[in-house]
Amino acid sequence: MGDTNASSQRREVTLERLWDKLQAYGSGDWYPYHMPGHKRNGWGALPPELAKLDITEIDGFDNLHQPEDLIKRLQQQAAVICGAEESFYLVNGSSCGVLAAISAAVPQGGKLLMARNCHKSAYHAVYLRGLEAEYLYPNLLPDYDICDAITPEQVKEALLRDPSVSAVLIVSPTYEGRIADVQGIAQVVHSYGIPLIVDEAHGAHLNFAQYFAEYRLTNSNLAGADLVVQSTHKTLPALTQTALLHVNGRIIRRDRLRRFLQIYQTSSPSYPLMASIDNCLSYTAQYGREPFRQFEARFLKLLQELESLQKLRILRGDDRQDIGKLVISVRGTNCNGKQLYERLLQQYHLQPEMAAETYCLAMFTVGDRQEGYDRMRDALLETDRQLESCREFETERENLPFVKASNRVIGLAKAWDSKVEWRYPEECQGCVSGGFVSLYPPGIPLLVPGEKIEEEHIKAINRWLTMGLSVTGIRMEEEHCSLAVLV
């Protein structure tokens, strides 16, 4: 952001803060003859301090679904800070924002061009709106089993093949931190007169990229996206379930967007959650320079200190790798991703974000203390000395999901509403999937309803279960699993 936006932020943070207003009300003598039923008193294990902040839409606190006063001003402030034309608070998480964005951008029964590594909420929008989904398949990052970001060339090629698409949806940053050339993609998409939606759930910190000394990347609002969804709770100091939806340009009808937000958002929004968004954005905009500088310095120092690793490998930063995502590859060792995850958790009391077959992911944010960097460094260096070089746990790269086109037999919506039966995996090859199967986290589907189940899907599911990874969309009966297939 330029100096003009920065000075605007400094002016806007003088607004009345929602946390302060909630605390003042909670300590006052107003008696609540209204919801919620705890009546601002502690009950059981519910602490009174939390109950006093938990209110409903009462006088002086505005209404998220029709903001006219405080919340309206706070959302305007969010737009200034995030470089958007208009911003909306989300208390149903970024999933709600993805649902609303797709619903507003694509007509009922329309066609959406979407990255195959999108979060499951995007597939839910396809189902609910009866959409036809065409996929962009990300490349596999060389030497690592993670999806790279979608490129402008991939989007251009897909739109040349099928210009009937109503909107394009990409993920940037990806779960593992790969950032797309959003500006280049936006130029391609806008040349067709359609909107670009960016699931930037893992990129809310990019709103403050000016605080990083060498950061050349920016958020998707400033890069030209029409709709941008961000999770404030993922990479910024905000409470779980808080997020933002931003809209820019004239392609998206704002009235439709508001309509779908009212549909997908709860009618009883949490004021502590909204206050958490307010606190996160305003405090970070005003005081974030030093914390973000420390964040960058600490993370880059950690990467430098881990250069001595002999067996474990760390995905090094480049101009498309986000800061804060530590991807630890176990390829070529006698350890798989789940085993490294368990070692860090049980032996060192370090809780990673997730485990996959050949890597483990740890997240760092502006909220980390130096202790977190030191303990991870020491644990990885010690683990590296104890591991052996081995190719036993190598995975065939061609068997990895999301890197080649799926064999779709029928549409998602029709398939998910069809009659299914549950069969053992070895009985499913050649059948049509009747449900979603995902490694969770991150919740990217290996199988989507309506896709043909191939041998590689069955092998992947069996490998994941053998390794102890969390697989959703299957049924477990004692030691056996089963998959939903169409009948």
Query: For residue 95, is it left (φ>0), alpha (ψ between -120 and 50) or beta?
Result: alpha
Q: What is the CATH number of the domain that holds 428?
A: 3.90.100.10
Q: Do residues 142 and 232 both lie within one domain?
A: yes
Q: Do residues 247 and 303 both lie within one domain?
A: no
* CA distance linking residue 348 with residue 350, whole number of Å: 5
Q: Do residues 294 and 273 both lie within one domain?
A: no
Q: Burial level of 246, CB count in 10 A (0-12/13-18/19+)?
A: buried
Structural domain including 190 reads: 3-14+64-277
Q: Do residues 211 and 257 both lie within one domain?
A: yes
Identity of residue 317: G
Q: Is residue 19 part of a domain?
A: no
Q: Is residue 379 part of a domain?
A: yes
Cβ–Cβ under 8 Å, residues 485 and 432: yes
Q: Do residues 434 and 298 both lie within one domain?
A: no
For the chain, percent of residues with pLDDT exceeding 70: 93
Cβ–Cβ under 8 Å, residues 128 and 416: no
pLDDT score recorded for residue 12 = 45
Residue with tokens 């330029």: 2
Residue 345: both structure tokens together: 């958790």
Q: Is residue 39 part of a domain?
A: no
Q: Do residues 266 and 338 both lie within one domain?
A: no
Q: What is the CATH number of the domain that holds 343?
A: 3.90.1150.10
Q: Which residues contact 7 (CB under 8 A, 6 or more apart)?
A: none
- Edge-to-edge strand list for the sheet holding 471-472: 444-447, 437-439, 471-472
Q: Is residue 161 part of a domain?
A: yes
Q: Is residue 451 part of a domain?
A: yes
Q: Which residues contact 91 (CB under 8 A, 6 or more apart)?
A: 64, 241, 242, 243, 265, 266, 269, 270, 273, 274
Q: Do residues 346 and 471 both lie within one domain?
A: no
- Hey, how many other C-beta atoms are within 10 angstroms of the C-beta on 34? 11
Cβ–Cβ under 8 Å, residues 151 and 186: no
Residue 466: both structure tokens together: 């053998």
Q: HEC states along 277-344?
A: HHHHHHHHHHHCHHHHHHHHHHHHHHHHHHHHCCCCEECCCCCCECCCEEEEECCCECCCHHHHHHHH
pLDDT score recorded for residue 3 = 42
Q: What is the CATH number of the domain that holds 253?
A: 3.40.640.10
Q: Do residues 105 and 212 both lie within one domain?
A: yes
Q: Do residues 8 and 108 both lie within one domain?
A: yes
Question: 408 forms bridges with which residues in the sheet?
Answer: 451
Cβ–Cβ under 8 Å, residues 387 and 333: yes
CA-CA-CA-CA dihedral for 92, 365, 295, 207, to nearest 10: -30
* Number of domains present in the structure of the chain: 3
CA–CA–CA angle 413, 119, 184 (5° rounding): 110
Q: Do residues 320 and 238 both lie within one domain?
A: no
Domain boundary among 277, 308, 339: 277
Q: Do residues 202 and 249 both lie within one domain?
A: yes
Q: Is residue 145 part of a domain?
A: yes
Q: Is residue 147 part of a domain?
A: yes
Q: Do residues 366 and 438 both lie within one domain?
A: no
Residue 478: both structure tokens together: 């004692």
Q: Is residue 54 part of a domain?
A: no
pLDDT score recorded for residue 389 = 85
**Residues in the chain with pLDDT < 70?**
1-14, 214-216, 391-405
Domain boundary among 356, 386, 416: 386
User: Using one digit for the tens of pLDDT, what is the confidence trace for 172-227?
Assistant: 999 999 999 999 999 999 999 999 999 999 999 999 988 887 666 789 999 999 99
pLDDT score recorded for residue 402 = 53
Domain boundary among 248, 277, 306: 277
